[in-house]
A and B are shown apart, each in its own frame.
Chain A
Amino acid sequence: MCRLAAITSNEYLNPMECIGALETMHEGHDGSGMGLILKNLGGELAEFSDYPVLSGICSRDGLYTLDEYLFHAGFRLKHQWRPALRPVKGIKRKDHYFAKVYDYPEEYEDRSREEKEELLIETRLTLRRMGEANGSITVFSFYPDIVTIKEVGDPLQLGEFFGLSDSRLKAKIIFAQGRQNTNYDINLYACHPFFIQGFGSMTNGENTAFVPIREFLASRGFAGYTGYDSDSEVFTHILHYAVKKLGYPLHYYKDVITPLGEGDLGRREDGEVLSLMRVALRPLCIDGPNVIIGFTPDGSCFMVHDAKKLRPGVVGGVKGKIGLVSEECGLESMVPGRESARDIFPMKHDMVIVSPGAQEVRVWNQLYGWTTIMN
């Protein structure tokens, strides 16, 4: 099963803090891989927060193709972060790991944010298609203030391999997941966390409702709803669809994936809306077993479970530094000085939302509304 460790903070943190948490949870994962997303970047990338960052892996030929394509598309390279790789036994090194910061093509300078986002996603998908057949290009994200790193191997060893402990790569939000998708063939595109247009999430457990959800999303007419090498990718896309496409406030994500039963709808002021929403979004209902940890473009982070809470998850920390992890030992490693009695173990109707900068922690309960745990 995947082990998940996310941290959100008002200070820039080293990704090894999350990787260390994965290590404490090692008992539950097989060390087969790691996915890492860094948001609200610090260090050498801090000054480029308005510019899109392309994260990925390339072969030598792939890099040439990628550079050529982006150059002709009008993207201008502003900066590049490349990990100082260290040989680690058992980790098969690929030619190039990169996070390249670009400036938008000139004709996009005055375009709206929406148009820029469309361009970025189209570009990412094109690059993915270009490199998919021969594996020469793998791109994980292309978006401002986001870096994604994924590779096969033990998370701790991968941290060493990428030289992350000494790296100047830092971020205020770090999401780490400690396992390749070993249910299927090893495929880096199947590795969590997943990202789309500012929204990211990682999940553990298998998604039994995957096929109807995939069919629904893939037929929304949005190019970004593709891939699905992992059944968990749909959770990220449902988040994007509910919040960005439909414009729902974040806590309705819980009502979309785990709608209330008919008998409970009357207990909510917005019961009539929920009743219609439950019908219209029926194909997006999940049945678990899952815990989902995600973030939104504004830097809010959340944790939510399936309606039967078939997977564990805990949120805790101190003001300014909150961890969201799949096992409590991971939290102990990330925020050791916290008051553990105030840790939150969200139940089946709960969604824990941590505000940007970890200033406030609130629990949204589908039946009882908001409870502020920390502010």
Chain B
Amino acid sequence: MESAVRLDHNHELTVKDLPYIVVWREDRCKRCGRCTAVCPMSAIEPSVVTRREVSSGEASPAPKVTRKTVVVVRQTTDIERYCTGCGACTLVCPNDAIEPVFNPQHKLLFHKNPGGHPYRRGGRRNDPRESTLDHLKFTRISMLTDPALDAGRHEFRIRTYLGRILPPEEMPFRVKEDKLMLAGGSVRFVPPVREIYPVMIGSMSVGALSPTMWEGLAMGVAYLNEVDHMPVVMASGEGGIPPRLLKSRFIKYFILQIASGYFGWDEIIRAIPDMVDDPCAIEIKYGQGAKPGDGGLLMAEKVTKLISEIRGVPQGVDLPSPPTHQTKYSIEESVAKMIQAMSMAFGFRVPVYPKISGTRTAKAVLNNLLRNPYAGGLSIDGEEGGTGAAYNVSLDKMGHPIASNIRDCYLDLARQGRQNELPLIAAGGVGKKGGLAANAAALIMLGASAVSVGKYMMQAAAGCFGDEMNRCNICNIGRCPRGITTQDPRLYRRLDPEKVAERVVEVFRSLDVELRKIFAPLGRSTELPIGMSDALCADDADIAERLRIGYVC
């Protein structure tokens, strides 16, 4: 029997299967074509349809049929070109004639694997619920017995340390008369420690980010340091940084990341003799919260001339980073080879620390690091961290929330009396609902020495469309409608690096005020309230019990 597929479109999807339905208002549309031109997915297209109109102008029915051909904007049901809801069409439409609307009944995950290729995307976990961090609030308010500090008047020092800190007993001091002096001669090695702002910009690579975005972030960071005297630092992500920056004095504001692909490190090593200052730190990436156990991939389309020069690879080839560092088979070896080698490369003047994805085994990593005097910290990236490209299943289902991971690690350090020796850096979902200062402060009170943010910066500084309703999230295909995660000049020219830099500065200035507004009523101003868990409560009893903090309702 002949199939009726061709006649009834039975194997095609309907728009009701798609996550966003484009609502187009024919009466408002002037057919300028901007929406279809800007759509990064080509999910909407101009189309010509013939309309049959039956009318009767007489008192009694005398139907008259007319046909006219009209131009419409049509949403495709091709799963490869599904509407991601980015809203670029709405942004450019002069007449408010078009808008994607979320469809809660969608079946994207049922269909987004044509050719047997699982769904891959960018962004973070598609879970629009509040994160654990958003269930935490600051309940220790200084009242009468200990008057609150004044966020606008008192002197505040919102700083933290990055690098291995010697226990006080091992500091090489000697007493001379009534003064403490540094003990001379061949005394204990004092590892390098950086004093930085406790919120840093997390690892996003040149390559994953567009040149304009990366430049905007870097300019913002430089401005914050040089003009506002806020020692904000930024991690490079894997793939090196522009050679001119490597050899500039601004290198001290950057943390260079080395990951399993070692991309960019030929250029960095070659530049070491010409460096005029040291980088802030070296981050060794062993894992990423958004895609634990998975490597990175920079698609060939994104490997432009600039990227190939920075990374020291041919142009236009896929750049996969393996899931693990292939030459290491044990943590002892990883620590010995990577941390010590990196420390040595920079003359033991630069803190070196590993970054891992949130995991139930984080404490094992932590305790191994404690035994190595060169480990300068531990960065833990929780499950709600963002990425430029990952399998959806990794993003949505793999990983560990940051709050309990950091808390467990801090309490383990505190039990051993070493909570001040190995700084913990928390990342993953910080500022997911916009509460950057509150999330960062909560993590600090749970035990983090510093907090790292990536996705929030893209959203706040460059207007990234992505969210946890799977809006946009196409960082992986190089067609970012905002020009943030693309190497296509037609797209990244949309993004003005000066404006990004301005926003970075604004974000950090406002963050600083909000942190003061949190710390002042708690009565803290001189040091960060690291581990000050008495200030923190959860509005959920289970969360409170798990994090060993108070419960309030």
Contacts and interface: CB of A to CB of B under 8 A. Distances in A.
Interface of A: 1, 183, 205-212, 215-216, 219-221, 245-249, 251-252, 258-259, 261-262, 269-270, 272-273, 276-277, 279-283, 285-289, 307-308, 310
Interface stretch (B236-244, B302-310, B530-538): B530-538
A280 B166 contact: yes
Contacts of B195: 262
A251 B178 CA distance: 8
Interface in B76-106: none
Contact of B180 (A277, A280, A285): A277
A97 B283 CA distance: 61
A138 B530 CA distance: 34
Nearest to B449: A282
Interface string B525-550: 11101111111000000000000000
Contact of A273 (B155, B166, B173, B532): B173
Interface of B: 140, 142, 145-147, 149, 154-155, 157, 159, 161, 165-169, 171, 173, 175, 178-182, 190, 193, 195, 414-420, 522-527, 529-535
B531 A259 contact: no
Given A211-B534, A221-B417, A283-B530, A249 B524 contact: no
A55 B179 CA distance: 36
Contacts of B168: 246, 277, 280-281
A307 B526 contact: yes
A248 B180 contact: yes
A210 B147 CA distance: 15
Contact of B420 (A206, A248, A283): A283
B531 A211 contact: yes
Dominant secondary structure of chain A at its interface with chain B: loop
B523 A287 contact: yes
Given A215-B419, A249-B180, A251-B178, A209 B147 contact: no
Nearest to B521: A208
A124 to B, nearest CB: 22
Q: Which of B146, B154, B179, B416 gathers most chain A CB within 10 Å?
A: B146
A270 B525 contact: no
Given A211-B532, A287-B524, A219 B165 contact: no
A220 B526 contact: no
A289 to B, nearest CB: 5
B146 A289 contact: yes
Contact of A212 (B178, B190, B531): B531
For the complex of A and B, list the 5 residue pairs with the smallest distance between their C-beta atoms, beginning with the closest.
A208-B523, A219-B417, A206-B146, A285-B527, A249-B178
B397 to A, nearest CB: 35
B525 A308 contact: yes
Contact of B532 (A209, A259, A288): A209
A273 B182 contact: yes
A62 B145 CA distance: 35
16 contacts: A206-B146, A208-B140, A208-B523, A208-B524, A209-B524, A209-B529, A211-B532, A211-B534, A216-B417, A248-B180, A262-B195, A276-B166, A280-B168, A307-B155, A308-B149, A308-B525
Contacts of A289: 146-147, 523
A285 B394 CA distance: 42
A289 B144 CA distance: 11
Q: Which of A183, A258, A259, A273 gathers most chain B CB within 10 Å?
A: A273
B165 A220 contact: no
A282 B420 contact: yes
A300 to B, nearest CB: 12
A205 to B, nearest CB: 6
Given A219-B414, A251-B178, A272-B182, 14 more contacts: A206-B142, A206-B146, A211-B533, A211-B534, A216-B420, A219-B418, A246-B168, A280-B166, A280-B167, A280-B420, A281-B168, A282-B530, A283-B527, A287-B526
Contacts of B523: 206, 208-209, 287-289
Given A216-B417, A247-B175, A280-B168, A252 B525 contact: no
Contacts of A273: 173, 180-182
B180 A270 contact: yes
B180 A252 contact: yes
Contacts of B193: 279
A283 B444 CA distance: 13
